[in-house]
Amino acid sequence: MHVLVTAGPTREPIDPVRFISNRSSGKMGYAVAAAFAARGHEVVLVSGPVALAAPAGVSRVQVQTADEMLAAVSARLEWCGALVMAAAVADWRPRRAAAAKLKKAAMPVALELEAAPDILRALAERKGGRVFVGFAAETGDPLPEARRKLREKKLDLIVANDVSRAGSGFEADTNKVTLLPAGGAPIDLPLMSKRGVAERIAEWVLDRAAGASAAAAET
């Protein structure tokens, strides 16, 4: 199977020195890419800036901004059978980025922001028979927001977690998640390593793809 995975944060520039970003370490997305590659699948990892080595057997594409990530994913969508969007893409970006470093005295008191592209929403009409997986990282109960994203972004599965819980944040090596399949019951996983969570995601995606292939063969 051809699998496209995104990971890490994006950086939205204020000027050539400063940017808006988030605390994503990329560990979850890199673990997902490694889990599929270990099973012998061909994996392309579109990564924001992180301090991680590419997993063995994985082709990595480095990006910085949400626009760059959207372009990289869009260019490879026809190639893949599954897209796992584990990246923490910035929701907002400065409306204008300065071409030179802004001096302290010239820095605006308030930044004018605009929405960054929503990658899954932008690609929803091109989904076809591909398996789409998203993530919902929230503080507090993540399930209401995860259900909204699952429905509105036409996902097959969303992985929901409360990043304010111990061992479940962006920089931890463990995660406590709930898998929410479209039209299925939630699967509440215990606290486990991010690689363990990645294995469960990979199993679900491969089972879903196999089921879809079998159904297509019967027709």
Report the catalytic residues.
Answer: 22
Q: How far apart are CA 118 and CA 199, in angstroms?
A: 26
Q: How far apart are CA 169 and CA 151, in angstroms?
A: 25
Strand (E) positions, 70-162?
82-85, 92-94, 113-115, 131-138, 157-162
Q: How far apart are CA 139 and CA 163, in angstroms?
A: 6
Helix and strand element counts for the chain (H, E): 5, 14
Torsion of CA 61, 63, 68, 74, to 10 degrees: 20
Structure tokens at 155: 């996902």
